[in-house]
Amino acid sequence: MKELINSLKGDKIIWVFVALLALFSFMPVFSASSNLAYMRHGSGNALTYLLKHAVQIFLGFIIIYQIHKIPYHYFRGISMFVLPIIWVLLFYTLLKGTVIDGANASRWMVIPLIGVSFQTSTLAAIVLYVYVARYLSKKREIPVTFKSSLLDLWLPVFVTLAFILPANFSTAALIFAMVIMLAFIGKYPIKYIAIIIGTGIAAFFLFVIVVITFPDAFKNRVDTWKNRIENFTSDKPGEDDYQIEKAKIAIATGGIYGLGPGKSVQKNFLPQSSSDFIYAIIVEEYGLFGALAILGLYLLLMLRFVIAAHKANSLFGKLVVVGLGFPIVFQALINMAVAVELLPVTGQTLPLISSGGSSIWMTCIAIGIILSVTKKDDEIAQELDEKQKREEALQKLIDKQMQEDEAQDEDEYQEKVNQMKVSIKDNLKEEDSDDYSITENPMRAVRNKK
């Protein structure tokens, strides 16, 4: 276990907050799923849903671990190639959308062979944020102009939103707001941002006019969010009012201390008790303290994202952390606001807590990329430390080798000297035997030579 923890790179505090949210999710999901178990199986045993959620969380952490090992600058190029594929998936999802149990499912597609439902807009948001961060972080010799950025930046943004808006207004609005925030942080000219905001608002109202004028053209695709806005702004009874009323009853029943884990009553009446309205179940079972604890965890996570963005050593890294981290927290705040009727029903889940495989996995992809950004500073410090240790070890080996070489050279030198002395002595003896000495008579050597 210690080795596994040491292998986790990046911001350790982000790891801790993500793990706490994921661990806490098991209790409310297990409790809220009893309603689904009773309606679908008649037994009320939610163990199957708990195991399914455990597998989804486990796979999610595998995704985080694998992605956080990838250098984050690789995603700069990946976003350019993946974005057109995302458009194809969004278009396919929009065309193949159906109605399941009276609910609009045009935002979902089923992955072939494995049969898992998948919300393409969540993956599109991740890819789009990275793409926008890539564009805004590019070094330019000349200042950016609206004309030059219109094709490279804003056309991909509006194409993506056009595919998402008819089926998922809340996600499209959240993505648009996050892109505007990224543009502001990336020092995109404010006057151009104002033009884009005005264009986006005008395009949305044009879309609403088209929907009202030709209601059959977008049948089963805009009816859901259209009815939600109408129900929120009027006293017209509907399914959303029913869910909101039950959510408010759950919150009021919870009080300060809550009814206790697993003792929720409204989970038996809320259709989306384990996903969209799980926060109401949390408040009912854990009271105001539990509600504030979850809210505090998300706010602390956002604070950590701000710190990570500030510490990132490149503009691309800063924008990636903001673009992928802030939507997670904003989505959580939207989910909580819906539960207390501050916002109309949006269908946004509570990240890392609500049940649902694809939403958990998409959140884990975003967190993995963020951790890859934060990992950079840790790796640099670790690499410098390891490099220093390697250099010290190498220097010790060099010094040791030099000492050995010097000692060996000294021995070899002494051995050669001894050999030379022996050789000289032998030569002298040989000369004495042949009597070539010229010490007494210089001609004696010549006469004695044969």
Could you give the 3-state DSSP secondary structure of residue 293? helix
Q: What is the per-residue pLDDT for 82?
A: 92
Give the phi and the psi of residue 118 in degrees, each rounded to 5: -145, 130
**Which amino acid type is present at position 248?**
K
**Torsion, CA 362, CA 368, CA 372, CA 377, rounded to 10:** 130
Residue 325 near residue 125 (C-beta atoms within 8 A): no
Q: Among candidates 385, 320, 393, which has minimal Cα distance to 71?
A: 320
Encoded tokens for 204: 């949305």
**Torsion, CA 158, CA 160, CA 164, CA 165, rounded to 10:** 0
Q: What is the per-residue pLDDT for 103?
A: 45
Q: What is the per-residue pLDDT for 181?
A: 93
Q: Among candidates 26, 21, 22, 61, which has minimal Cα distance to 46?
A: 26
d(CA 275, CA 281) in angstroms, rounded, equals: 10
Q: What is the per-residue pLDDT for 392?
A: 80
Q: What residues are paired with 110 via a beta bridge? A: 117
Q: Among candidates 346, 314, 313, 310, which has minimal Cα distance to 330?
A: 346
Mean pLDDT by 10 residues, the chain (450 residues): 72 92 90 73 69 90 91 88 91 68 56 69 92 86 79 92 84 91 91 93 86 67 60 58 83 88 83 83 91 94 93 89 93 90 82 84 93 73 67 79 72 73 64 50 52
Q: What is the per-residue pLDDT for 436?
A: 47
The DSSP annotation for 210-273 comes to HHHH-GGGGTTTSHHHHHHHHHHHS----HHHHHHHHHHHHHHHHTTT-S-TT--SGGGT-TTT
Q: What residues are paired with 104 via a beta bridge? A: 99
Encoded tokens for 412: 């070899």
Q: What is the pTM of this model?
A: 0.78
